Structure 1
Amino acid sequence: MLVNYLTLFHAARLLHERYARTVIAEVYSQEKNTLSIVLYAPEPHTITVRCGARENALIARSGTSRTHKNTVDLFPSLIDRHIESVHMLASDRAVIISLSGGLRLCCELYASAANVVLCDMDGTVTDAFLKKKETVGLRRPYPLVPQPVTENDILPAREEFIRTLTALSAEQSDPRRALKKCAPKLGTILADEIVFRCGITGSSFTETDTARMADAAAGLVRELLLPDRITPSIYFDERSPVALTLIPLQHLAPYRREQYDDLFTGITRFISFGRSESSVLQQKKTYVQWLQKELEKAERTMRAVETEMNDASRAEKYQQYAAAIMANLGMLTKGAAAAELRDPLNPDIIIRIPLESSLTPQKNAERYFEKAKKARSGREESRERLRMLERRTAALQSVIENSKQITDSISLKNFIHSNGSMLKELGYMTEQEHEALPPFKIFTVEGGFTVYAGKNSANNDLLTFRYARPNDLWFHARGSSGSHVVLKLGTAPGEPSKKAVEQAASIAAYYSKMKNAKHVPVAMTERKYIHKPKGAPAGTVALDKEKVIFVQPLLPEQKE
């Protein structure tokens, strides 16, 4: 519902409530297809309009983040103008920002045709964010006076709605498609909700369902038009975002729901999650393509080496030729192109031996002895090379199989940490990239936070006093030797949850001498409350402040 009509309706409502009578300070772009409008209310705030083909959105937030590098100023005529009102166009997905002087900035969020255009009082476009040459001079017949959006702007009248649905039911139409055909502003997610609320489970519906569908749609739309009913939420399938919604939806109840106090926060988070997932899938694709290519190359090379090994089996034949020539030197003369001689080891067998006519029989024998020696050496080299290729093939197949677990940023991080050494061995990761990986046991806990665990006493000191930052959370099994464990803040959005903290404590319990106990006391504190007593051995520290929690000794991927 990122650019669902009703999402934009409430975005426009919030923009009006927050920014009417504020002053525009600058308008610029520093990201492709993204326009930023900075205004003072009285502190700086930024309205962002995203016009990407796959990412239309309208967002507002406090502050400004212009870098002044690779940015371009736009819409100079808007500077110092007041925003008088913001409203949603009743007929389409366009948000109109009315400005002092009779100008209107129209945010047209029409998917691949999205744009932001500036219109004068007559509705003529005088400036545009995208496709300026094609757009300037066109007319936008948007009404000058804001029109309230009602249920009738979103749904047809009840009788007409039922009549159209009835006609579509006779065509065995899918109920969701039928709803969207009758009321395009609903969108897929709301159509799914209406069908769910009506209890329709099949891919078609009957005439008796139509009244219930029309009434369910009306009830849902009325609820969505009420500002006090809006509770922005994102539903997740595990860690992947499924949908952004304005109210709790019954058909999404099986998914995990994360609620936000502000609509723009929800939109921003949804975009961030979606981009992260897209980036993860692209990185996964890059890994898999390289691994598959290397696997195919290794398999081709293995076939070639096996062929070489078959050729190398000629060593015995060359040895046989050389021995036969030496046993019959008195019978041979220089200049012969071939000779038929008895095999010294089996005199009943006559063998035909090609000879170099320019060489003496002695030299021909030496030549075959040398070829036999080289063939034997090549065979051993081929065997060793084949063993290496078999190991490489197995490693590639293993990493490819592991890559199937990459579904989000957390599993990608786990994949890199778990397979870093193998990727370096295989040649994907450079020595420098591999060395950049922290030299500790690495885990990911709830929320995507990274956790490091020391490997030994010296490694514990390195983790605590070189890698941990002052506010990172530090853990150690109380009253027992074991690993220092650090939960790195800033490795995931927000603050770590109670579950994330308990998972980090469980890691500390697991890597201690109390790992076989049912429950282990674990000391937790911020890194800034830890110091090393003078002369203390490696791994020994003192805590100025601590909290003790009891947990089971478990690693994050283990189940109780």
Structure 2
Amino acid sequence: MNNYYALKYLTKSFEKTLLNRHFLLSVSPFKGVWSATFGTDKPECSLIFSSHPSETALFTDRVKSLKKRNITSFFSELTQQRVTSVQLAENDRFLSFTFSNNLILRFALFGNKPNIYLIENGKILESFKNCDYFSGRPEPQPRETIIHKKIPKEGTPVKKIITGSFPLFPRHLIAKVVDHYSLDEKTPEQVVDQIELLSQSIETSPEFRVLHDGSLCLIPEKLLPVKNLGVFRTVNEAVAFAYHKGTELRRFSHLINSVKPLLERKRNSLQLRLEQLHKTAADPSRAEVYEKTGHILMANAHKELKAENGSMILPDYYNSDQPIRIPVDESLSIAQNAQAYYDKSARTERSVRQAKRRLTDTRHELAEVTELGRSLEGIERTDQFEQWSREHSSVLEKLGVGKKNLKPESLPYRKITVGSYEVWIGKNARSNDRLTSAAHKEDLWLHARGASGSHVVIRMNNQQAMPPKEVILRAASIAAFHSAARNSSLVPVIVTKRKYVTKPKGSPAGAVKVQREKVELVQPAEI
């Protein structure tokens, strides 16, 4: 979905759909996913970016309603700015949008860490991922692509020939191409000629296909006859389909894997329990042996006999008075040892009775779990899984399969409400680190200036306007009170956005660096 040729055609698509549109809002609705809304007099549309290395993608889509809470927003400096150009780097997978305020939004669509960078005058202002690390660094530059123009030597691996001579050729298709054209049996010249032909077909007569394995392919089907899931009018439609299909498969796999291993463990546990119950229920003779041993001891209780090495040798009147060695507790009398064996006999009899009762229940449970496992094997889609889980909810609940018995974790910082705003207050140095790390970049961050103390955050919840002055002053007073300067009559308190607060590498817990700040002079006040 992110090979160079796909991005080349996507760039042309974005020029048609996004040029001269205004940036309205961008959020992260899910982990690793960024969504921006663009609008003008035309209907609004979304630009979707997936940073998952296995399914890196960029495409436009229809606008979907977003939940109002617990979403993270990005790149507010672009709000209401117009897209003036869309450009793809030459021979590299950097795709850049330039806006009317001369800021650039650059997508890095390669490697294990795909990202988005907001750039001003060659410096990164903000990034989608790892903003603290990238903020203030130079903008990323396209790599120089080295193309081997000489024909490789005989014996050079086919994949190396292709990646060396055609570094932009879609790597995920190499195995399919090698297999279809038997390139392992061809000379380097023949390999180069074949890949040249396929590359030209992508440039001049592409087909926007999604293959049976969910991968994107621009090579025409007549040149690479691999089974399709679908063929699309535009590359954007193909990428969107491949992404949503991959997301659906990933969600489906997660749902199956959340239940299947638990069912298997439950079945194995029940099978082991069944074996143990069978063993106990099938051996009632142990109770009889313990009882007879007690009788033998009791028959000799009147005698003054001493145990040696934890046992006694006594005549077994159940076996023609043949001598029998009986383990005993030397601290107890013979009668007491006899009673201990009677107790063992009674416990064993109870165990046998219980085992026989539990055998029926355990067989029934095992049959239920086995049948659940069989029925799960036939499920191929998320909607089928959801229906299956509803139909078997009572059995799943009874078996404890899929239930999450998690105790709520206590927060590492304190939460209060000031006006209509949620305010976080650090408890100690480590708590301060976690609070600042958890805060959104647009939240307000406060700390007593020049004194140790709690980090305080006013949660913005994607609101563009600043909180009322009284809310800021109240939070500042709380920050002053929770600092080493709490006994002063007036305390200067730093107020800044969280995105301007960074933690130097290797610094102690709670230590931060503030890049931009305003100062409010307030009286310390308790919560």
TM-score, normalising length from structure 1? Answer: 0.58
Residue in 2 that maps onto 1:463? none
TM-superposed CA distance for 1:286, in Å, is: 2.6
Alignment partner of 2:70: what SS?
A: coil
Residue in 1 that maps onto 2:186? 205
TM-superposed CA distance for 1:16, in Å, is: 0.7
Residue in 1 that maps onto 2:204? 223
Task: Write the mapping of 1:113-152 to structure 2, written as runs, cut at 5 A.
Answer: 113-120=113-120, 122-140=121-139
Rate the CA distance shift 1:323–1:333 in 2: closer, same or farther, 3 A: closer
- 1:340 paired residue among 295, 298, 315: 315
CA distance in 2, matches of 1:396, 1:155: 58
CA distance in 2, matches of 1:341, 1:80: 100
TM-superposed CA distance for 1:10, in Å, is: 1.5
- Gaps of at least 5 residues in structure 1 are 144-152, 431-560
Deviations 1:112-156 (A, max 9, x none): 332222333x5333443333343344444879xxxxxxxxx9995
The answer as to whether partners of 1:54 and 1:111 remain within 8 angstroms in 2 is no
Q: Which amino acid aligns with 1:86?
A: V
Residue in 2 that maps onto 1:12? 11
Alignment partner of 1:112: what SS?
A: coil
The answer as to whether partners of 2:92 and 2:145 remain within 8 angstroms in 1 is no
Residue in 2 that maps onto 1:79? 79
Alignment partner of 1:297: what SS?
A: helix
Alignment partner of 2:92: what SS?
A: coil
Rate the CA distance shift 1:322–1:246 in 2: closer, same or farther, 3 A: closer
CA distance in 1, matches of 2:123, 2:251: 40
Structure 2 residue 236 is matched with structure 1 residue 269: no
Q: Which amino acid aligns with 1:258?
A: G
TM-superposed CA distance for 1:323, in Å, is: 7.9
- Gaps of at least 5 residues in structure 2 are 307-311, 404-527
Alignment partner of 1:130: what SS?
A: coil
CA distance in 2, matches of 1:368, 1:222: 89
Structure 2 residue 21 is matched with structure 1 residue 22: yes
The answer as to whether partners of 1:233 and 1:244 remain within 8 angstroms in 2 is yes
Q: Which amino acid aligns with 1:184?
A: P
- 1:428 paired residue among 401, 405, 418: 401
Q: Which amino acid aligns with 2:210?
A: I
Deviations 1:294-314 (A, max 9, x none): 234334434544564576413
Q: Which amino acid aligns with 1:233?
A: R
CA distance in 2, matches of 1:263, 1:273: 15
- 2:211 paired residue among 225, 230, 235: 235
Rate the CA distance shift 1:206–1:320 in 2: closer, same or farther, 3 A: same
Rate the CA distance shift 1:202–1:302 in 2: closer, same or farther, 3 A: farther
Residue in 2 that maps onto 1:301? 273
Residue in 2 that maps onto 1:257? 229
- 1:187 paired residue among 160, 170, 173: 170
Rate the CA distance shift 1:45–1:317 in 2: closer, same or farther, 3 A: closer
Alignment partner of 1:54: what SS?
A: helix
* Of 34-43 and 80-89, the range deviating more from structure 2: 34-43
Rate the CA distance shift 1:31–1:318 in 2: closer, same or farther, 3 A: closer
The answer as to whether partners of 2:201 and 2:219 remain within 8 angstroms in 1 is no
TM-superposed CA distance for 1:277, in Å, is: 1.5
Residue in 2 that maps onto 1:409? 382
Q: Which amino acid aligns with 1:57?
A: A
CA distance in 2, matches of 1:310, 1:142: 76
Q: Which amino acid aligns with 2:117?
A: V
Alignment partner of 1:314: what SS?
A: helix
Residue in 1 that maps onto 2:54? 54
Rate the CA distance shift 1:350–1:116 in 2: closer, same or farther, 3 A: closer
CA distance in 2, matches of 1:142, 1:377: 78
Rate the CA distance shift 1:265–1:379 in 2: closer, same or farther, 3 A: same
CA RMSD of aligned residues (A): 4.2
The answer as to whether partners of 2:209 and 2:216 remain within 8 angstroms in 1 is yes
Structure 2 residue 332 is matched with structure 1 residue 381: no
CA distance in 1, matches of 2:383, 2:27: 34
Residue in 2 that maps onto 1:317? 289
TM-superposed CA distance for 1:107, in Å, is: 1.7
Alignment partner of 1:13: what SS?
A: helix
CA distance in 2, matches of 1:208, 1:400: 53
Deviations 1:450-485 (A, max 9, x none): xxxxxxxxxxxxxxxxxxxxxxxxxxxxxxxxxxxx
Alignment partner of 2:181: what SS?
A: coil
CA distance in 2, matches of 1:99, 1:332: 102
Task: Write the mapping of 1:429-508 to structure 2, written as runs, cut at 5 A.
Answer: none
Rate the CA distance shift 1:250–1:419 in 2: closer, same or farther, 3 A: farther
TM-superposed CA distance for 1:14, in Å, is: 1.1
Alignment partner of 1:290: what SS?
A: helix
* Of 370-379 and 25-34, the range deviating more from structure 2: 370-379
CA distance in 2, matches of 1:37, 1:324: 87
Residue in 1 that maps onto 2:488? none
The answer as to whether partners of 1:342 and 1:349 remain within 8 angstroms in 2 is yes
Structure 2 residue 38 is matched with structure 1 residue 32: no
CA distance in 2, matches of 1:154, 1:193: 24
Deviations 1:188-225 (A, max 9, x none): 244356546xx63264532452353244234323325x
The answer as to whether partners of 1:234 and 1:242 remain within 8 angstroms in 2 is yes
TM-superposed CA distance for 1:106, in Å, is: 1.6
Alignment partner of 2:51: what SS?
A: strand
The answer as to whether partners of 1:154 and 1:186 remain within 8 angstroms in 2 is no
The answer as to whether partners of 1:312 and 1:378 remain within 8 angstroms in 2 is no
The answer as to whether partners of 1:341 and 1:353 remain within 8 angstroms in 2 is no
TM-superposed CA distance for 1:5, in Å, is: 1.0
TM-superposed CA distance for 1:421, in Å, is: 6.5
Residue in 2 that maps onto 1:558? none
Residue in 1 that maps onto 2:484? none
Alignment partner of 1:11: what SS?
A: helix
The answer as to whether partners of 1:194 and 1:216 remain within 8 angstroms in 2 is no
Rate the CA distance shift 1:336–1:5 in 2: closer, same or farther, 3 A: same
Q: Which amino acid aligns with 2:128?
A: F
CA distance in 2, matches of 1:112, 1:103: 26
CA distance in 2, matches of 1:372, 1:74: 73
TM-superposed CA distance for 1:268, in Å, is: 2.5
Give percent identity, aligned residues only.
15
Alignment partner of 2:122: what SS?
A: coil
